[in-house]
A and B are shown apart, each in its own frame.
Chain A
Amino acid sequence: MIFSNILIYFVIVPLLTLGGLALCSNKGVKAVRAVAVTGASVLVMLAIYLVAYFLQARAAGDTSEMLLQSKVTWYAPLNIELALGIDGVSVVMILLSAFIVFAGVFASWKMDPLPKQFFLWFFLLSTGVFGFFISIDLFTMFMFYEVALIPMYLLIGVWGSGDKNYSAMKLTLMLMGGSALLMLGIIGIYFHSSPEGQPLTMNILEIAQNNAIPHEWQYYLFPLTFVGFGILGAMFPFHTWSPDGHASAPTAVSMLHAGVLMKLGGYGCFRIAIYLMPFAATEIGWIFLTLTGISIVYGAFSACVQTDLKYINAYSSVSHCGMVLFAILMFNQTAMTGAVLQMLSHGLMTALFFALIGMIYGRTHTRDIREMGGLMQIMPYLGVGYVIAGLASLGLPGLSGFAAEMTIFFGSFEHTDTFRRVLTIVATTSIVITAVYILRVVGKLLFGAVQNEHHKELTDAVWFERLSTVTLILGVAAIGCFPNFFAEIIRYSFDPVVEALKAVGM
């Protein structure tokens, strides 16, 4: 019975929250908040329990690739199943998502107008995210992926700011373009999922086991799936939805989008593109490696000259997420572990950034750093939060970014060929460029004299804002201080992928 599997509750809880929200009256803001907080808290608790369960199961010697597997067929003609299962990577991604949903609820505490509808879409999006991470069936994954994408259009289009219609349209269309490629890829994989004469399957583990996708087909399917997910992962040159999209999105949506949704891209790249098509990955991975290498430096340099806080962060995300895909394409355990650490780190840190930007914007009504200054004197709490987020972003030891980036660099440097070495060195230069743009924005925004006299009357963070930011800061510090705890959960999940890559001569 599938309901005895705890994983399914990661989908059921958001759906129940949806139901609860639907029952609230349009005017009852308090009830809406209560339901949203309850839903988010339950998710956090479930996620923590899941981590504990995972650690315990692994400690007890359960070495199966995916834990907590169960499946229900829901469309027999195409062998589509609701197949669940998790490994270390999914566990930490679920944990990350739960924390960001939790923080996001508090960050949108005063959401106006239509709070009820906002949270409805917000939780629908969360449903998709969790569903994606717990599925191991290609089609189910794809379905949840779409569930996560579509609400974005409305969330930005209705609750956004600035040129929101354009941004929402652009973001949705570009990501839909990615989905189209992905759909093609998945269909292709499905029809080659099993050797001749055996029933086809959508189950990722079975496809990997069969290893039946012909090499010449992998040349087509790998780019389709990798680019499909890569668009969501903001890979150069398919990243342009990100700056506009983030700039227009409301705070909590930016948080969830940069914090979790962009991670679906990296996760999908490794779980589907590389794992299922290792041959093509080793043969033509270098093309994408070059693109991600460009992403890292390109995003960082672009961020240096932006004046809108959200644009700075969007470009910074291009750089940091580029690092994720870059590390995944390095095909070794260390670098890939670093990639997941970077996803966690970037998720929390960027969510923190967007939360703070939202809070600052809510007060000053501008995101242009040229119009602000000296905010540290006026809102020290938000200022300190911003500095911490900045330091995490530029890689201060003790905060999350450092551990993740170092793991990536040292993992990438394990390769001895000049091409990868040079790319690694190029990627490392981002630590300097990141420092440049982070310190630039911190210096202009928080330090110096107060630019606008009206800003002097502004107030510092209130309780729900503090709760939201503290949650994220604690997460950032936890990863930064005890990275090995997370790395050990993640590391061995890459054994099957690395094995598969080795088998084709990586």
Chain B
Amino acid sequence: MPLSYTILVIAIPLLMFLFLGLAGVKMGKKLTGVLGVCAMGVTTVIAYAVALTYFFGTGDGQIVDGVRQQLVLNDWTWLKFSENLVVKLGVLLDPISAMMLIVITTVSFMVHLYSLGYMSDHHGKPEKGFQRYYAFLALFTFSMLGLVVSTNIFQMFIFFEMVGVSSYLLIGFYYTSPAAVHASKKAFIVTRLADLFFLIGIMVLSFYTSTFDFKALMANPTNALASAQGATFMGCSVMAWALTCIFIGGAGKSAMYPLHIWLPDAMEGPTPVSALIHAATMVVAGVYLIARMFPLYVLEQGAMDIICVVGAFTAFYAAAIACVQSDIKRALAFSTISQIAFMMTSLAVSTADGALIEIHEGYGLGYMASMFHLFTHAMFKALLFLCAGAIIHAVHSNENSDMHGLHKFMPITSIAFLIGCLAIAGIPPFAGFWSKDEILVACYAKGMGWGLWMSMVAGLTAFYMFRIYFLIFFWKKHEIHTEHAPADQPWTMTLPLIILAAISIVAGFVPAGELVTWDGAHLHTQLNWSVAGASVLIALVGIGLAFKLYYKENELPEKMKNALPNLWEAAYRRFYMDELYQFITHKVIFQNISKPIAWFDRHIIDGTMNLLGDVTNSASYAIRRLQSGSIQGYVFVYLVGALLIAAVTMICVMI
């Protein structure tokens, strides 16, 4: 298939959004659903065809000297700021964008299909906003696809905003629930704050380099960085500032500490949405952004160090919280944060000084591993979320205390969930093993400390995932709360689980090193047995521990909780980050900035204006007696005045 068809991949969801948005009200549910799924199916097929053509085709200009080229397929002028700075909208095809096309369309298609069943009712009642839901899904898919094919950083920013809004609309889908409304607002505002930094970063970067275009920037990153001509701000080069600001933008979307607070709350949205947006696609936008600008970052070590520290910390922080959450979706959300942090760290451990050359040729291992993990994680995390959706749909609750012992009732879901857990825990041959192994190798190459830290987090990952698994499907016999016993869900919901489970098993065998590298050239990777062996061992320990603690009902978890009550409480309350934000937004900004300003405006500024009016009023009132209209009064004043003047004149003359 000609690569120029890529534009269709983006256009179809957009048209679908417009069509469903405008005409959806008039259409039946079934028609809407089928139309949405079919359109997404076609989009997926085209995306696969395009991506495969890109990866394995040898068409004109695709591969030069064994290096896969970046191809700009379309580029339309959207807005001209000045002669140099022109915002274009276009399609850029390179290894990572082609890979992302596959990831997004696959998960999106699965979610479209799954939602046919999931969204047909809401806790037993027929769902009202079905058409709206499919319209928003299409809008999100369009925005996300537009994001990954961006030809320039401004287009990236535009679509960052677009996915932010689609996410807002979908989190707040159940808009009658105050929790959902609050969560959607929070998600939008936190990511908007991050986008503010992104914008400032773009302003600085584009001011010095006079271009938004990725290709122009990356063609010669050294020159791009040098264009600031040593300009500094507070002791650091402006470029380091710009790149750090841009990273903050990415960190907002990718839920890096401390901007992660919106993601757990975002679970208020429908579960398929969580799978699509808040597990597989939108939340990796930040990682994708850094990967897209990798050649610049790798030369600006200061910015890289920040990313590295933030990533490594977030990975542990989120994993620790995930260990104690009782809400299944929130636990998965923290798991997502931790896994994205893995990708971030993996990108950031790359250094330009060639330190990694001894292990692998080129320093692109971390990059490759990060993108590879992005791909596998999208598959198994979407799987896990969709399983969670099936469970929630069956028991009408998010709390794992209402689940327990579901294995007998929902065998297919149970096995699919187990596959997801094995994949994320990094047990061979499941997908996560291969990608996580590469990440750990890259981390060990940066330094023993980094490697050990990340290995420890990987062990924690295995533990908390299997904790969830055992608590849901085993622990004790299931008590049926609802009218009928929970069971595997209809085929529209089960089929996506089976497909994603199958992908999670085999995805690790994709030769990522040959396909997705930062410079388009082959990267020869081989399994590092010592790292792989160690990480499998750690994962098994984590699983074993979870098995011991949570397979069968016992006293141990409670004892552990009581042994360290404060720590447990702190982790359960997410280390009080939400309270801190609440304090800053409500107490500081709302009460101490907005309110005083509003008061100042009404009482001081407006008061001054009113005072002017009042003074004028009372002054006129005071002097109005002068215009009394009585002739006697006027004559009297006239006479007094005349006499006074006469007197003064006389005195003057006499002197």
Contact residues in B for A124 (Cβ distance below 8 Å): none
A170 to B182, CA, bound (A): 38
Assembly CA distance A491 to B26 (angstroms): 43
Q: A431-B196, A431-B199 are in contact. Are A305 and B595 (CB under 8 A)?
A: yes
Q: Which residue on B lies nearest to A483, using beta carbons?
A: B79
Known contacts A432-B196, A447-B175, A484-B77; is-contact A301 B593 (Cβ 8 Å): yes
Q: Is the CB of A413 within 8 A of B207?
A: yes
Find the B residue at minimum CB distance from A241.
B609
Is there an interface contact between A448 and B178, defined as CB atoms closer than 8 Å?
yes
B192–A443 touching, CB < 8 Å = no
Q: Give the shortest distance, in Å, between B295 (CB) and chain A (any CB).
A: 24
List B contacts of A428 (CB < 8 A). 196, 199-200, 203
Which of A237, A334, A483 meets B82, CB within 8 Å?
A334
CB distance from B130 to the nearest CB of A (A): 14
Known pairs A240-B606, A391-B165, A407-B79; A377 contacts B196 (CB<8 A): no
Identify A403's interface contact among B79, B162, B176, B613, CB under 8 A. B79
Residue B579 at the chain A interface, CB threshold 8 Å: no
Contact A374/B176 with A174-B609, A302-B598 known, Cβ cut-off 8 Å: yes
Given contacts A173-B613, A302-B601, A435-B188, contact A396 B165 (CB under 8 A): yes
Interface residues of B in 77-124 (CB under 8 A from A): 77-82, 85, 87
Pick the contact of A439: B177, B178, B185, B593 (CB < 8 A). Answer: B185
In the complex with contacts A305-B598, A483-B79, A432-B207 CB distance below 8 A:
no
Contact of B182 among A237, A431, A443 (CB under 8 A): A443
A173: chain B residues within 8 A (beta carbon): 613
Asked if residues A425 and B200 are in contact (CB atoms below 8 Å), the reply is yes
**CB-CB < 8 A to B77: which residues of A?**
484
CB of A452 within 8 Å of the partner chain: no
| CA distance in complex: A398, B154 (Å) | 14
Chain B residues whose C-beta falls within 8 Å of the C-beta of A191 in the assembled complex: none
Inter-chain CA distance A71–B243, complex, in Å, is 56
Complex: A283 Cα to B191 Cα, angstroms: 39
Interface string of B139-167 (1 = CB under 8 A from A): 00000000000000010001101100100
What are 6 sample pairs from A and B whose C-beta atoms fall under 8 A apart?
A173-B613, A305-B590, A410-B85, A414-B207, A488-B80, A491-B80
A-chain residues with CB within 8 Å of residue B270 when the two chains form the complex = none
Most chain B CB atoms below 10 A, which of A411, A447, A488: A447
- How would residues 392 to 423 of chain A score, 1 for a CB under 8 Å from any chain B CB and 0 otherwise? 00111110001100110111011000000000
Q: Which of A213-230 contact B (CB under 8 A)?
A: none
Chain A residues with CB under 8 Å of B204's CB are 413
| CB-CB nearest in chain B for A484 | B79
Q: Does B12 contact A (CB under 8 A)?
A: no
A435 CA / B172 CA spacing, docked (Å): 15
A397 touches B196 (CB 8 A): no
A174 to B605, CA, bound (A): 13
- B27 to chain A minimum Cβ distance, whole angstroms, is 15
B609 proximity list for chain A (CB < 8 A): 170, 174, 240-241
Interface membership of A429, Cβ < 8 A:
yes
Whole-angstrom distance between the Cβ of A108 and the nearest chain B Cβ: 27
Please indicate the chain A residues that have their CB under 8 angstroms from the CB of B158 in the complex.
397, 402
1/0 contact string of A423-455 vs chain B (CB within 8 Å): 011001101100110011001001111000000
The 3 closest A-B pairs by CB, nearest first: A447-B175, A304-B594, A397-B158
Q: How far in angstroms is the closest Cβ of chain B from A287?
A: 17
Question: Are A432 and B189 interface neighbours, CB within 8 A?
Answer: yes
Given A240-B609, A302-B594, A428-B200, 17 other A-B residues pairs in contact with their CB atoms under 8 A: A237-B608, A240-B605, A240-B606, A301-B598, A305-B598, A334-B82, A391-B165, A397-B158, A397-B159, A425-B200, A431-B192, A432-B189, A432-B196, A440-B185, A448-B178, A483-B79, A487-B80
A11 at the interface (CB under 8 A from B): no
Q: B328 CB to closest chain A CB, in angstroms?
A: 25
A237 & B605 in contact (Cβ 8 Å cutoff): yes
CB distance from A23 to the nearest CB of B (A): 40
Q: Is B504 an interface residue (CB 8 A)?
A: no
Of residues 285 through 342 on chain A, the ones whose CB sits less than 8 Å from some CB of chain B are: 298, 301-302, 304-306, 333-334
With A and B bound together, what is the CA distance between A491 and B185 in angstroms?
36
Chain B residues 174-213 with CB under 8 Å of chain A are 175-178, 181-182, 184-185, 188-189, 192-193, 195-196, 199-200, 203-204, 206-207
CB-defined contacts of B597 to chain A, threshold 8 Å: 298, 301-302
Contact check: which of B189, B207, B598, B601 meets A436 at CB < 8 Å?
Answer: B189
**A376 at the A/B interface (Cβ < 8 Å)?**
yes
* Residue numbers in A under 8 Å from B203 (CB-CB): 409-410, 413, 424, 428
Q: Within 8 Å CB of A407, what residues of B?
A: 79, 81
- With A396-B165, A431-B192 as known contacts, state yes or no: A484 contacts B175, CB within 8 Å: no
Residues of B within 8 Å of A240, CB to CB, are 601, 605-606, 609
Smallest beta-carbon distance B270→chain A, Å? 16
Residues of A within 8 A of B613 (CB): 170, 173
Q: Are A414 and B82 in contact (CB under 8 A)?
A: yes
Which of B's residues lie within 8 Å of A, judged by CB? 77-82, 85, 87, 154, 158-159, 161-162, 165, 168, 172, 175-178, 181-182, 184-185, 188-189, 192-193, 195-196, 199-200, 203-204, 206-207, 589-590, 593-595, 597-598, 601, 605-606, 608-609, 613
Q: How far is the CA of A431 from the CA of B85 in the complex (A)?
A: 21
- Bound complex: CA A374 to CA B180 (Å): 13
Smallest CB–CB gap between B176 and chain A, Å? 6
- Determine how close the nearest CB of chain A comes to the CB of B80; give it in whole angstroms: 6
Contact A432 B192 (CB under 8 A): yes
Contact A301 B594 (CB under 8 A): yes
CB < 8 Å neighbour of A398 from B162, B195, B199: B162
CB of B316, distance to nearest CB on chain A (Å) = 29
A391→B613 CA distance, assembly (Å): 38
Contact partners of B193 in chain A: CB under 8 A: 432
Residues of B within 8 A of A306 (CB): 598
Q: Which B residues are CB-close (under 8 A) to A491?
A: 80
User: Which residues in chain A, 144-174, are within 8 Å of chain B measured between CB atoms?
Assistant: 170, 173-174
Give the distance in Å from the alpha carbon of A428 to the alpha carbon of B204 in the complex. Answer: 13
Contact, CB under 8 Å: A397 / B161: yes
Chain B positions within 8 Å of A431 at CB level:
192, 195-196, 199
A376 to B184 CA separation, bound complex (whole angstroms): 16
Kindly name the residue among A239, A395, A397, A483 whose own CB sees the greatest number of chain B CB atoms within 10 A: A397
Closest A-chain residue to B146, C-beta based?
A397
Could you say which residues of chain A place their CB within 8 Å of the CB of B593? 301
Q: How far is the CA of A443 from the CA of B598 in the complex (A)?
A: 21
Q: Separation in Å of the A480 CB from the closest CB of chain B?
A: 10
Question: Chain B nearest CB: distance from A469 CB in Å?
Answer: 14
Residues from chain B with a CB closer than 8 A to the CB of A435 are 188-189, 192
Instruction: List, in ascending order, chain B residues with CB within 8 A of A487's CB.
Output: 79-80
CA distance A397 to B139 in the complex (A): 13
Chain A residue contacts of B154, Cβ below 8 A = 406
Cα-based distance from A391 to B162 in the complex (angstroms):
11
- A376: B residues at CB distance < 8 A: 175
Complex alpha-carbon distance, A410 and B609, angstroms: 36
In the bound complex, CA of A403 to CA of B87 (Å):
10
| Nearest B-chain residue to A485, judged by Cβ | B79
- The residue of chain B having its C-beta at the shortest distance from the C-beta of A391 within the complex is B165
Residues of chain A within 8 A (CB-CB) of B87 are: 406
* Minimum CB–CB distance for A231 against chain B, Å: 11
C-alpha spacing A493/B337, complex, angstroms? 50
- CA gap between A391 and B598 in the complex, in Å: 24
Collect the chain A residues with CB atoms within 8 Å of residue B595's CB: 305
Given contacts A334-B81, A376-B175, A428-B200, contact A443 B185 (CB under 8 A): yes
Residues of B within 8 A of A239 (CB): 605
A447 near B199: Cβ-Cβ < 8 Å: no
Write the nearest CB–CB distance from B601 to chain A, whole angstroms: 5
- Collect the chain A residues with CB atoms within 8 Å of residue B177's CB: 448
Instruction: Enumerate chain B residues within 8 angstroms of A443, measured Cβ to Cβ.
Output: 181-182, 185
B188 partner residues in chain A, CB cutoff 8 A = 435, 439
Chain B: CB-nearest residue to A411: B81
- Binary per-residue interface labels of chain A (186-225) against chain B in the complex, 1 for a CB within 8 Å, 0 otherwise: 0000000000000000000000000000000000000000
